[in-house]
Structure 1
Amino acid sequence: MKGEAVAVAGASGTIGRAVVRECVARGFEVIALVRHASDRDVPELAGARVQTVNLADPTDVALALAETNADVVISCIASRSGSPKDALKVDYEANCHLLRAGEGAGVQHFILLSAICVQKPKLAFQRAKLGFETELRTSRIAHTIIRPTAFFKSLSGQVERVRAGKPFFLFGDGELTACKPISDGDLARFIANQVGNEKAYGAILPIGGPGPAITLKRQGELLFEAAGLEPKFRSVPVGVFRLFAAIFSLGAWASDWLAEKAEYARIARYYATESMLVLDPVTGQYCAEATPEFGEDQLIDHYRAILADPPK
């Protein structure tokens, strides 16, 4: 509904920018909460009132949110590294500061961008996200938790390899996992749809792109097709990540650097072996049919758009 005042935290991030742009287009009064003053010049934030805030400081967050007069808070903040310390500070603590500030400022609805992988938590950032989801569910503010599948950006790490004529890396045979990737724009539209939607209060909403679910091998095939090249693959054994995690863990007790490296290896193994689809709690299996679909954007068009730009 027009006139809704929406504060978007993490507005300078990839998804945050898309959400701000979509909310502005819908006629909402949008306040983009960013960490750095330089983010005021981000083109995608045009039409929004940009406000800097230190999400690590609960007092600063409370003052900033009180000035927004927001009816709705959309949190798109997420740890960039996934390391245990970063996850605790961002995925849990910063979101808690935002929630408490919202309670004090009279915010009516808190929309959280979470992740579908928290269904099967094995990593620090997943546990941090779940910890905040618990805080949110016990708050007096109406809430909506959105758990998207893989983003187009997260499936674009091998674009430059393929452009350079190198093989696409597979884990195992490339059929171990599947997902329904969703574009920034489609996800932003789905998130904006929940603003003012009372049917979404208290809901946990898993969401994927238009489908069908695709494996890692299929991602590679789409990338080669977009590049106009014959597919060329190279298999990487999944066990290598377990080995690296074990090696780095030996000194993790004495070194934050080694502890982070061990966690990165565990993260890599997780994404190499776990699908980003709805998990059936009864069977323990991932289910493509049970994973909701939304939007129109296709991954191959995203690949074509990247390949149309000059190599980096």
Structure 2
Amino acid sequence: MRVAVAGATGRIGSRTVARLRDHGVEVVPVSRHHGVDVITRDGLDEALRGAEVLVDVTDAPARTEEAGLQFFRTATTNLLTAAVAAGVEHHVVLSTVGANWLWSDYFRAKLIQEDMVRNSPVPHSIVRATPFFESIEVMVKKNTYYDRVHVAPVLARPVSTDDVAVAVAHVAVGLPLFGILEVAGPDVRHLDDLAAEVLTARGDERLVVPDPQARYFGAELRERTLLPGADARLGHMSFTEWLAQPVVHTQG
């Protein structure tokens, strides 16, 4: 099996490539580092030639309306066009749990990406992940006001990037779902408690303030917006275990 992975050098992409190779799959990395650009289409047709499966784990360079909408529309259009021309039999795309409820520019762009994939002639699978562990730390930085961090006290089930990559690779080597698989972490926690745990682990003395009006990357949150459905695939690594690991700065 030959699988092309768009976004192959990113946080999820690099792990997905490794997991696919564990399955004995021939992987074609698709990234600017490998001479392929999903925005300009440079090298894209050649990269997908002979590929049976296309995995899209790309992400926008910034979570703003202009960056998100422009990136996902352009990249997904180019990937789908190249996939059809190459005769790709299965298109796997990574999205976000709650994309249809998180009304912000970035998540609206992800929903548009999902719709484009559903409406294409290429058989598809959509993998929706709950917030990555790393995104909790990024949220803490974005929601800081002086010496306080405002976080909505809602439920969340964050997941490790390794567990997401395992799920994406598993879907890629299987038959198209023509639907959605949700992936989540093993533990249900309150988002403000997760933020406080990050600060404690990093030796940061800032105070976490439970704030129902606090945004999550621009989106308003309800109590269960970040939770998957009952049939979600659950990962193995807990948030506490992840925090205990040495901090590694990864591209993506």
Question: Which TM-score tier does this pair reach, normalised by the shorter chain?
Answer: 0.7 to 0.9
Q: 1:97 to 1:225 in 2, by over 3 A?
A: same
Identity percentage over the alignment? 25
Give the CA deviation at 1:133.
1.7
Q: 1:308 to 1:76 in 2, by over 3 A?
A: closer
1:125 paired residue among 100, 106, 112: 106
Q: What pairs up with 1:153-192 in 2 under 5 angstroms?
A: 153-157=134-138, 169-171=149-151, 174-175=152-153, 177-192=154-169
Give the CA deviation at 1:204.
1.1
Q: 1:159 to 1:61 in 2, by over 3 A?
A: same
1:270 aligns with 2:219: yes
1:85 aligns with 2:66: yes
d(CA) in 2 for partners of 1:168, 1:219? 15
Equivalent AA in structure 2 for residue 7 of structure 1:
A
Tell me: higher relative CO, structure 1 or 2? Use CA pairs within 8 A at least 6 residues apart.
Answer: 2
The equivalent of 1:292 in structure 2 is 232
The equivalent of 1:112 in structure 2 is 93
Which structure is higher in helix share? 1
Give the CA deviation at 1:220.
3.7
d(CA) in 2 for partners of 1:232, 1:59? 46
Q: TM-score, normalised by structure 2?
A: 0.83
Q: What pairs up with 1:134-283 in 2 under 5 angstroms?
A: 134-157=115-138, 169-171=149-151, 174-175=152-153, 177-198=154-175, 200-211=176-187, 213-223=188-198, 226=201, 233-235=207-209, 268-270=217-219, 275-278=225-228
d(CA) in 1 for partners of 2:136, 2:66? 25
Equivalent AA in structure 2 for residue 305 of structure 1:
Q
Q: 1:235 to 1:114 in 2, by over 3 A?
A: same
- Given that residues 140 and 195 in structure 2 are in contact (C-alpha distance below 8 angstroms), is that contact kept between their aligned partners in structure 1? no
Q: TM-score, normalised by structure 1?
A: 0.69
d(CA) in 2 for partners of 1:81, 1:18? 21
SS of the residue corresponding to residue 245 of structure 2 reads helix
Give the CA deviation at 1:138.
1.9
Q: Which runs of 4+ in 1 moved over 6 A?
A: 229-232
Q: 1:132 to 1:272 in 2, by over 3 A?
A: closer
Q: For the aligned residues, what is the CA RMSD?
A: 3.0
**CA offsets, 1:51-99, max 9 Å, x none?**
3212112464223322xx1111100011131222211232221011011
Q: What pairs up with 1:45-84 in 2 under 5 angstroms?
A: 51-58=34-41, 60-66=43-49, 69-84=50-65
Q: How many residues are matched? A: 244
Higher Rg: 1
- Given that residues 277 and 291 in structure 1 are in contact (C-alpha distance below 8 angstroms), is that contact kept between their aligned partners in structure 2? no
The equivalent of 1:163 in structure 2 is none
d(CA) in 2 for partners of 1:110, 1:28? 16
Q: 1:8 to 1:231 in 2, by over 3 A?
A: same
- Given that residues 139 and 216 in structure 2 are in contact (C-alpha distance below 8 angstroms), is that contact kept between their aligned partners in structure 1? no
SS of the residue corresponding to residue 244 of structure 2 reads helix
